[in-house]
A and B are shown apart, each in its own frame.
Chain A
Amino acid sequence: QSVLTQPPSVSGAPGQRVTISCTGSSSNIGADNDVHWYQQLPGTAPKLLIFRNTNRPSGVPDRFSGSKSGTSASLVIAGLQAEDEANYYCQSYDYSLSGFWVFGGGTKLTVL
Chain B
Amino acid sequence: QLQLQESGPGLVKPSETLSLRCTVSGASISDSNFYWGWIRQPPGKGLEWIGSVSHSGSTFYNPSLKSRVAISVDTSKNQFSLRLNSLTAADTAVYYCSRLPVDVITNDFFDFWGQGTLVTVSS
Contact = CB atoms under 8 A, between A and B. Distances in A.
Nearest to A4: B46
A31 B105 CA distance: 13
Given A89-B47, A98-B63, A101-B49, A45 B115 contact: yes
B107 A102 contact: no
Interface residues of B, number: 23
A57 interface: yes
A2 interface: yes
A71 to B, nearest CB: 15
Interface of A: 2, 31-34, 36, 38, 44-48, 51-52, 57, 89, 91, 93, 97-106
Interface of B: 37, 46-49, 52, 60, 62-64, 96, 105-116
